[in-house]
Amino acid sequence: MPKTVFVSNVLPLEARDLIPRDIAVDYNATDTPLPRGELIARLRGKDGLICQIITTVDDEVLAEAPTLKVVANVAVGFNNIDVAAARRRGVVVTHTPDVLTETTADFAWALLMGAARRLVEADRFARSDHWTRWQWDLLWGADVHGKTLGIVGFGRIGRAVARRAAGFDMRVLYHDAVRADPALERELRATPTDLAALLGESDFVTLHVNLTPDTQHLINERTLRGMKRSAILVNASRGPVVDEAALARALREGWIAAAGLDVFEEEPRIHPDLLPLANVVLAPHIASASGETRLAMATLAVKNCLAVLAGQPPLTPVP
């Protein structure tokens, strides 16, 4: 029987071209999430699914797709997939780590710098009629160099963020369930720290955890109140790690100074209390969005799918 793959959203031609001609491809060339009924219908009889985080693959979807052997997510995060249900049903789930690490770390720094130096406010001001002269006290921000950076989640991306901090001569604290190798801690000049102490001591707190029941609302009213009033929070992990309503209050009432967010609890909705605030930089979930990286993610997802269909181990299964 020839194999069939469903590509549920737009994917670069270079990546799709890797699929051999004897595999039939059903390609949905749009970038909008498919209605659930259509997803289920188009998965019928398919061996592989290549999907993005906008596609929810839960137990019910999997139950309707008994021929499915692999779900290849074009993302490092995989909270859109019920991995336990997939395993129970013998479906391999893969993701795209490594290829997006540096790009995502770059963007976390862009958020950090943008929030610290008020770049978005500055851009708006420079374009407006309000800029009439050089001003001594115009748009003062916070220094980054020499400060303390707290990294919550010290996996690939958290470590890449830490590596960049050396250039800013920062003290680096990290919090993770698993302690890093001491040699790596020395190389990155990063000190393991419990969460409360990290939040209390850091000038910048950047989040790089997976979304799990343990990390849902890890940043909430209590933890926000444990941060410095001058602190800046960065989130380029998953939206639900932060209680957005509490964060909006923290920013409005000055419990912390500013934030840079790439992810939101109910994307594409942003909590309405965040929208009017000048001290938050908002981005539409684009941390991995460089042309090179998006192509690398697409290519890796296709290779993962093909490996499983060929009866080989995938390159990057979800852990």
Report how far residue 23's alpha carbon sits from residue 18's, in angstroms, rounded to the nearest whole number: 11
In whole angstroms, the minimum distance from the beta carbon of 285 to ligand DGY comes to 6
Stretch that binds ligand DGY, among 4-12, 31-39, 70-78, 247-255 (CB under 6 A): 70-78
In whole angstroms, the minimum distance from the beta carbon of 288 to ligand DGY comes to 4
Q: How many C-beta neighbours within 10 Å does residue 196 have? A: 12
User: Per rule CB under 6 A, is residue 75 in the interface with ligand DGY?
Assistant: yes
User: Per rule CB under 6 A, is residue 5 in the interface with ligand DGY?
Assistant: no
User: Per rule CB under 6 A, is residue 296 in the interface with ligand DGY?
Assistant: no
Using the minimum distance from each CB to ligand DGY, give the nearer residue, 107 or 255. Answer: 107
Which of residues 206, 235, 288, 299 is near ligand DGY by CB under 6 A? 288
User: Per rule CB under 6 A, is residue 77 in the interface with ligand DGY?
Assistant: yes
> Would you call 74 helix, strand, or coil by DSSP?
coil
Report how far residue 219's alpha carbon sits from residue 199's, in angstroms, rounded to the nearest whole number: 10
Question: Closest Cα to residue 51, out of 86, 88, 84?
Answer: 86
CA distances from residue 213 to 82, 131, 159 in whole angstroms, order as listed: 13, 47, 23
Beta partners for 235?
Answer: 207, 261
The radius of gyration of the chain's CA atoms, rounded to the nearest angstrom, is 21
Which of residues 19, 34, 53, 161 is near ligand DGY by CB under 6 A? 53
For residue 130, indicate whether it is catalytic. Answer: no
- Looking at residue 165, its amino acid is A
For residue 229, indicate whether it is catalytic. Answer: no
Q: How many C-beta neighbours within 10 Å does residue 316 have? A: 19
Token pair belonging to 109: 């720094």
For residue 271, indicate whether it is catalytic. Answer: no
Among candidate residues 16, 208, 238, 271, the one labeled active-site is: 238
CA torsion 220→222→228→231, rounded to 10°? 0
Which of residues 5, 76, 108, 306 is near ligand DGY by CB under 6 A? 76
Interface map 95-134 toward ligand DGY (x if CB under 6 A): -----x----------------------------------
Residues forming contacts to ligand DGY in the complex (CB under 6 A) are 53, 75-77, 100, 288
Annotated catalytic sites, by residue?
238, 267, 285
